[in-house]
Structure formats: structure tokens, C-alpha cells
Chains A and B, each alone.
Chain A
Amino acid sequence: MDEAPGLSDQYRTASPWPVFIALGIPISELGLLFDLFPLAVGGLLLFGGSVVGILKESGYVTSTIRAVTALAVIFLAFGAWLAFTDIALVTRGYAVIAAAILLAVGGVVFELFVREQRQTF
């Protein structure tokens, strides 16, 4: 086992994720409403990443990569709906799509490199 246990392993009533979920929502909303590309992407990443983190921590999902993929697909669909339908909020749609892609890439990187490391401990 790990020498340095994480916060939510060590303490029964602590979790680092709620704050970031709560921050991700308004940041992405601001980004999408005012068409601020970086805020939209960053907020969605923060939100998506933390959602996966909290789901994993609480044992609602077992595979990080599957949870990330599911979220990325939802984002992708939402982004495509904004960008390519009659709604035609093109830049906002692209922001959501960008967030989806970055989230998926992040998930793969995590799966390939970060998780691997653990088994070599």
C-alpha cells in the first residue's frame, strides 16, 4: 500500500472534489453565456474532471476511463448541438467540443501513465 495516503482515505469525512465541482459549474456557465472560450473550456474541464473524481472516490464507477469517455461523449453531443444545428452558437459549441476532446485526452493520459505508476509502487 501507499506510504502517503490521500486525504479521503485518511479522513472519513473529507473529500477534495465538491469545491471544484461547485467552481466548475459557474465558471463554465460564465464562459458559455458571455462567449469566453477559455473560461468555458476550463470550467467544463474542472467540472468534468471533478465529477469523475468524485464518482470514482465514492465507488459509483470503477473505471476512470469509462467515466471520462461517457462525460466526453455527452459534452461532444452538446457541443455539436450548439455548433452544427440551427442554434448556430458556433464558438460556444466549439468550446464545449474542445473541452470534450481535452477531457478524453486527459482520461487517456491518466489511464496510461498515472494509473500505471501505481502498480509499480
Chain B
Amino acid sequence: MEVNGQLALTVLMGVFLIAVAAWLARVEDWRSYTPLAGGGTVGGTAEQYVSEEKPSGVIRWLTTVDHKDIGMLYGAYALIAFAVGGLMVVLMRIELADPSMTLISNTFYNSLLTSHGITMLFLFGTPIIAAFSNYFIPLLIGADDMAFPRINAIAFWLLPPAALLIWAGFFPIPDVIPAQTAWTMYTPLSAGVGSGNQVNAGVDLMLLGLHLSGVSATMGAINFIATIFTERDEKVSWANLDIFSWTILTQSGLILFAFPLLGSAIAMLLLDRNFGTMFFSVDGGAILWQHLFWFFGHPEVYILVLPPMGIVSLVLPRFAGRRLFGFKFVVYSTLAIGVLSFGVWAHHMFATGIDPRLRASFMAVSLAIAIPSAVKTFNWITTMWNGKIRLTTPMLFCIGFVSNFIIGGVTGVFLASIPVDLVLHDTYYVVGHFHYIVMGAIAFAGFAGLYYWFPIYTGRMYQVTLGKWHFWLSMVGTNLTFFAMILLGYGGMPRRYATYLPQFATLHQVATVGALILLVGQIIFVWNFAQSWLEGREVEDGDPWDLADDDLTTAEWTWFERKLETAVTDGGEDETELATDGGQAVDDADADSADDA
């Protein structure tokens, strides 16, 4: 870089640091820190000053370490990412409405494809799960907060820079173009080898962003493991731990083993790209990348699906009027999936020419992993069997989840069989398979949770009719789009192309229509969500779903009820409920500062 540029950058950086220091000096009196042991509890730093829960306005959101606020931040972040990733794919689907290149260039299509995948998996999928787990796990297990509230905040705040880096190629920065590596970033393409344009810094920026999101996920996972192990209320034993906490615990374990590996692989790729190492360019380097990537990548799909399964296992019984059928077996299946998911990664590499004996063993484990998945499916169905079904919007989304998960799972079993996979690999069939799960199941469970807990986090009720519209448009749209893709795959349509042979036109058009139906559904959702939040009917009953009638109330609703009651009695608005839990921390602090004096 030129001297001038360096100078400008230095000045900019200096001004920024001074601004940060000045802001900190304004809001924070860091000289006041009293040495206390056990920074784990937020209350730990409190002197007599502690008067309120949190500051107001923007500063509250920038500085919060409250698990509920952080949950809300994750949720807002995830929904924005969902909108970005969704609009990207709408453009792609419109381009695919006719066989030739019309609306956007092929390279731009590739860029959108790459960003869509990474955005949906890492910036929507993982964060929307973190939104629910941050908000509800401490409530469900009776903890005051997460084990490490500040680490929790750091984990969230790593995500906005991660998104900016991942999308950096689309911003008008000179000489930076978006990555076109697809989300799998296969080498040698992603190492920038050859005459392609993937040496561009846009790829490095995306890799950095992905790395950052991995650091964030890992920090969150450590926090959840510590919280579920150590912060449970005395009344909450392993035997009566709720199903959602079980899935988050398992998911966190998977993250702990999978994401650091992705981080290392990305670091190696960055070294290859920028510092002349040759991890992935020597003989076997390309296959090495695939092993490393899929050792992370397959567990990642279960990282994304287990907690949504937990949400469904929690919500679906509430509207079937009975307890989850075979609770224990659902927990065992969760754990089994967690363990097995590390033994199947090479089913993504059946077509690479790896040793056939290895291939066969991966086929066996891949078929085996379908068993615990099926156990869960049967348990959901038997829970509903002869139940007192109430078709509320969250319940509809749960049933949609089960239905779509069956199609997604069954297509997966076929892919796990080597001879079938060799025919269908790298076709739209694979795209159809995993979208039945990521859109049809994971996103559906996310919506189920968003509707089910809407009264808790907004204090209001959503508009029921719009909720139903949202569900049905999503259900029809998903099945139209992704079933067409399964058929396209049977026909031999390869994935990841901006153009195609005319013979595929009809099915592609069906898929595009499906995507547009989905778009309409999501617009209705956004409207319903925003408008109900601002103007919806206020919830006065701590049990808006009448769970108590069937004796199915869970801890978060009890908490909500208490919150509503305290709010009424002392006329306060928010936050008052915590005055009671806050007691202990303040006492500690008092004792400590007395020692200091």
C-alpha cells in the first residue's frame, strides 16, 4: 500500500481509538472496579451503586450482558440475515426462470449462490437457534443468567463484523469482488489456483468472516455447556431436564468439536492463499480439504437441526394435549445422532474416488444415523396420535416440520447409498434433499418458536389469520420449490449453474413460482411480526396457550406469569421481575465492599 494510504489509515485508526477511549471514559468508571472473585456472576462487580438493571436507549443494547437481551439481538440479527439470504435467492430463482443468461451474469449468479449458502447456514441458522437458547435456556433450567454473561455478549458482537466481511465483496470497495467458491470452498478453486478470479481479496474477507462466526459459535457453545452443567436450579436434575436443553447441550458438544476444526482448515486455506504454504496444493491436497471440510460440515448439519428438533419436541406436545411420547428415547436419539454425526462425513465424498472399503463403512454409518432420526419422527407422530390437537400457528409449523423432515430424511437415506449417490451426486436432487431439511424443517421450527413464544418476548399476541397465511404459503412454497428440485435431479440437472438446457425449463419454472410464493409468505410474516409487536393485543394472562388445562406448563411460562404479576403490583413496566433474583448478588457485593473498607 502507498504511503499516503497508510497515513490515512493511521489517522483513521487513531481517531477511532481515541473516540472509543473517550466514549468509554464517559460511560464507564473503570477506576471503580473493586477486586472481587468470581466474575462469573454479573452481579459480581456491583457496589452500592447497583440501582437498576440496565441503561436505556442504544447504550442498553450495546452494553447488555443480560441473556434475554442477547437472545433478542441474536434474533434480530438472524432475521435480517434471513431476509438478505432470501432476497439473494429470489434473484437467483428469477434468473433461473428461463434457460439462458438474462437478468444477471453467470459470475454474479455464482457470487449470490456462495453468499446465500453461507448467509443462511452461518448468519441465519446458527444465530436463530442462539436466539432461542439464550433467551430460554436460563429460564427453563432456572438459572439467573448464562454462566459467562460477558463472553455471551462477545460471542454475539463478533457476528456483525462477520456478516460485513462475508458480504464485503458486494460492497463498492475498489478491487474487491465477491467470492464464487460455493459454501463448500473446495480447493484448488478457493485457493486461488488457475486462471480464475478467486485470488481476489473478496475470498479472503469471506474466509475471515466465516472464521469469526466460528469463533462466535464456539464461545457460545462453551457457555451453554457450562450453563447447563453448573447453573441449573436445584429442582432441575438430569432426569427432568427439558428436551430443548438436551438438544442445545448436544449441539454445543458438536460445535465444540466441529467448529475449531473448520477454523483451522480456514486458517490453513488463508495461509495457502496469502503466505505461500501448500497444505492444499500438494498431491492429495484437494481431498484433504474435503475431509477437513466435511468432518466439520456433516456435524454442522446436525448442529443446525438438533435444536429445532428440540423446539418441535417441546412445542408440539403442548398443542397435542399430552406429554412427549417416549421422552427418554428422544433424548437417547439426540445423543446418538450427536455421536454418529462424526462418523459419516465421507458420504459427501462418495464420488471422489476414495477407497471403496472406506466408502462402504461410511455408507453403513450414514444409514445407521437415519435410525435415531426416525425414532424421533415416530415419537412426534405418536405424540399427536389420538391427542387433542389444536391447530395453532406454532403447531402448524411443527406439523409442517415433521412432514418436510420425513421427505428430507428419506431422500437423505437414498443419498447415503453409494450406487444411488453416484447417480444423484451434484444434481438438484441433493439441493432438494437438504432444502427440505434446512428450509422445510429448520426454518419451520424457527417460526414455530417465534410464534409460540411471541407473547413472552413482546408481551403481545400476533395476528392469527396472518400467521395461518404465513404457514400455508410457506408450506406450499417449500414443497413446490424443493420437490421440483428433486425431480430435476432425477432428470440429471446439475447443481450450481446459472443456465441450463431447455428440457429442464418447466420444472425450473415451477421451482421459481414456489420461491415467489415463499417470498409472499415471508412478507406477510414480516408485516405480522412488526405490526403485532407494535400494536398487537396485549397479553394479560401468563398462560396464553392455556397449557395449564392439560398440566403442560413449562418453566418459562411460569416465569412470564410471575413477571406479569409483579409488573401489575408495582405498576412498573419492564424488568421489575429481576429485582427478586438480584438480591443475592447485591448482598455479596455489599459483604465484599465491606471487607475492602
Binding site for B on A (CB under 8 A): 1-2, 4-23, 25-26, 29-30, 33-39, 41-42, 45-46, 53-60, 62, 89, 114-115, 117-118
Indicate if the CB atoms of A12 and B208 lie closer than 8 Å: no
The majority secondary structure among interface residues of chain A is helix
B contact set with A: CB distance below 8 Å: 1, 6, 9-10, 12-14, 16-17, 20, 24, 27-40, 42-55, 59-60, 62-66, 69, 145, 149-150, 153-154, 156-158, 161-162, 165, 201, 204, 208-209, 211-212, 215, 270, 274-275, 578, 582, 585
Contact A23 B157 (CB under 8 A): yes
Complex contact B62–A12 (CB within 8 A): no
Q: How far is the CA of A60 from the CA of B36 in the complex (A)?
A: 8
Q: How far is the CB of B191 from chain A (nearest CB, A)?
A: 15
Min Cβ gap B45→A in Å is: 5
Partner pick for B39 among A21, A25, A59, CB 8 A cutoff: A59
Cβ B65 vs Cβ A26 within 8 A: no
| Interchain CA distance A22-B165 in the complex, whole Å | 13
CB of B203, distance to nearest CB on chain A (Å): 12
- Point out the residues of chain B lying under 8 angstroms from A41, CB to CB: 13
B30 proximity list for chain A (CB < 8 A): 6, 53, 56-57
- Specify which of A1, A26, A45, A54 is in contact with B165 (CB 8 Å cutoff): A26
Complex Cα spacing A9 to B52, Å: 10
**B54 contacts A18, C-beta separation under 8 Å:** no
Of the A-B pairs whose beta carbons lie under 8 Å apart in the complex, a sample of 19, sorted by A's number, is A1-B48, A5-B29, A7-B59, A9-B29, A10-B49, A10-B50, A11-B54, A13-B53, A13-B149, A14-B59, A15-B149, A21-B157, A26-B161, A26-B165, A37-B10, A56-B30, A59-B36, A59-B38, A115-B31
Tell me the bound Cα distance from A13 to B162 in angstroms.
25
Q: Which residues of A contact B215 (CB under 8 A)?
A: 25
Q: Which of B38, B52, B69, B157 contacts A22 (CB 8 A)?
A: B157
Residue from A10, A42, A115, A117 whose CB has the most chain B CB atoms within 10 Å = A10
Q: Are B45 and A38 in contact (CB under 8 A)?
A: no
Whether B27 contacts A16 by the Cβ 8 Å rule is yes
A30: B residues at CB distance < 8 A: 208
**With A25-B212, A115-B31 as given contacts, are A17 and B150 in contact (CB-CB < 8 Å)?**
yes
In Å, the complex CA distance between A15 and B62 comes to 9
Contact assessment for A2 and B32 in the assembled complex, using a CB-CB cutoff below 8 Å: yes
Q: A22 contacts which chain B residues (CB < 8 A)?
A: 154, 156-158, 161
A36 contact from B1, B42, B209, Cβ within 8 A: B1
Q: In the complex, what residue of chain A is closest to B62 when comparing beta carbons? A: A19
Q: Is the CB of B35 within 8 A of A59?
A: yes
| 6 smallest beta-carbon distances between A and B, as pairs | A58-B39, A6-B29, A22-B157, A18-B153, A42-B13, A59-B36
Residues A38 and B6 in contact, CB atoms below 8 Å apart: yes
Taking a contact as CB atoms under 8 Å apart, the answer to whether B53 and A11 are in contact is yes
A56: B residues at CB distance < 8 A: 30, 33
Known: A5-B29, A16-B28. A37 touches B154 (CB 8 A): no
* In the complex, chain B residues whose CB is within 8 Å of the CB of A1: 47-48
Q: Chain A residues near B29 (CB, 8 Å)? A: 2, 4-7, 9
Residues of chain A lying within 8 A (CB to CB) of residue B270: 33
Contact B153 A10 (CB under 8 A): no
Q: Bound complex: CA of A56 vs CA of B45, how far in Å?
A: 9
Query: How far is A16 from B153 in the complex, measured between Cα atoms in Å?
Result: 10
Nearest chain B residue, comparing its CB with the CB of A4? B29
* B150 contact set on A, CB distance < 8 A: 15, 17-18, 54, 58
| Cβ-defined contact, A13 with B64, below 8 A | yes
A6 touches B43 (CB 8 A): no
